[in-house]
Amino acid sequence: MRASLENFLASKYGEWFIRSIQVGLGLLFIYASLDKIMNPGLFAKSISNYRLLPLPLLHISAIILPWLELICGIALVINRYQRAAYTIIGGLLLVFVLAITSAMFRGLDFNCGCFSMDSEESNVGLLKIFQNLGLFFSCVLIEYRTRVVQPNS
Amino acid sequence: MLQMKKLVKDILTLVTVSTVLGIAAQTVLPNGIGLRTEVTIIGDDSSEVAIPAVSINPNGNGEAAQNISLANAYKAFQNNSVLFFDARSPEDFGAGHIANATNLPVHAFMDSLTYLENLDPDGHIITYCDGEDCNASIDLAADLKMMGFSKVNFFFGGWQEWRDAGYPVESSP
């Protein structure tokens, strides 16, 4: 099972498959960043709803995070700095999962601020956790292929 | 080892570029925010809470809704000169709410536009939710301000403070 997966990933089709996941992930993060970049105040408000970050870190996080999503998204699409980009994105996704889970356990109910600042966007919940875990898994798969084709990396 | 060093270096590069662009963008964007988090102190003599200013006025323009104390909210209630909007879910509203309040869940704001359009835009409105643990009253007040209502307050003490004070409440069947 594992050998056939590794054979597939090392093949030309495997390369295309992983490349399309990488580009898809990149485009998704570019899209997710735009509304946040244009509305930094709304995004800061969205982060503050989670009640996890100390207040002094709120604005600086709202300023940097969307740009980090955009730059990493572009890096994945153009295939430059891609390993750093999916490592950062994977880390961000894990943080998002922890934040949403923690909000759910504390009974907080608000717009998750994941893809847009639209007040009609879905709220924190299990669906958002599974979405983020799915995206995290795609980062893991890209890294797995890197290790298959470059065993010393 | 060499690969790991390169990875760390590349991560730092991406983070640095994002930080520089993010900070630079705030000087260009009409609704850019500062690096320092501004806070607004809300409350009365008995308790004060610091909340980020962006929670009340996320776009930093226009006049933001202000907090109203329990005493002043009750005074407005007694004068019958105010509409109370309960920003909580219909379930919470049904379990108990300020007497004569109208349920207007903040997540369903768009569904209430027809109702809101028929109200006096200069009438006094007070929004509330559970209490200090929720932001729905602030969000709803911001939405109402954005819609053009001129006299909007949020009652941050909310349902809990009102109920604990023994002021008039009712529940829906």
Same domain, B133 and B90: yes
Above 80 in pLDDT, residue A127?
yes
Same domain, B13 and B94: no
A25-47 mean pLDDT: 92
Considering the domain boundaries, does residue B51 fall inside one? Answer: no
Of A55, A71, A84, the CB nearest to B37: A55
Of B35, B60, B107, the CB nearest to A41: B60
Same domain, B11 and B70: no
Task: Scan for tokens 């005493």, then name that residue.
Answer: B71
Considering the domain boundaries, does residue B87 fall inside one? Answer: yes
Instruction: List per-residue pLDDT tens for chain B, 173 residues long.
Output: 778 899 999 999 999 999 999 999 999 998 899 999 888 777 665 667 777 888 777 766 667 788 898 999 999 999 988 999 999 888 889 999 999 999 998 877 778 888 898 999 999 999 999 887 777 888 888 888 878 888 999 998 899 999 999 999 998 76
Neighbours of B158 (CB within 10 A): 25
Rounded (to 5) percent helix, strand, coil in chain A: 80, 0, 20
* Chain A positions in Cβ-Cβ contact with residue B23 (cut-off 8 Å): 63
Can you read off the two tokens belonging to residue A126?
């299990």
Q: Identify the pLDDT of residue B147.
A: 82
* Chain A positions in Cβ-Cβ contact with residue B139 (cut-off 8 Å): 119
- Domain count along chain B: 2
What domain range is B17 assigned to?
Answer: 1-36
Q: Considering only alpha carbons, which residue of chain A is nearest residue B135? A: A49
Residue B160's domain is classified under what CATH number?
A: 3.40.250.10
Please state, rounded to an integer, the average pLDDT across all residues of chain A. Answer: 89
Q: Please give the ipTM for the structure prediction.
A: 0.91
Considering the domain boundaries, does residue B54 fall inside one? Answer: no
Q: Considering only alpha carbons, which residue of chain B is nearest residue A74? A: B14
Above 60 in pLDDT, residue A10?
yes
**One-letter-per-residue 3-state SS of B79-115:** CCCEEEEECCCHHHHHHCEECCCEECCHHHHHHHHHH
* Chain A positions in Cβ-Cβ contact with residue B7 (cut-off 8 Å): 83-84, 87
pTM of the model: 0.79
Question: CA B65, B66, B71: angle at the middle one, nearest 5?
Answer: 140
Using alpha carbons, select from A41, A73, A87 the residue that is nearest to residue B56. A41
Q: Identify the pLDDT of residue A98.
A: 94
A88 and B11 within 8 Å at the Cβ level: the answer is yes
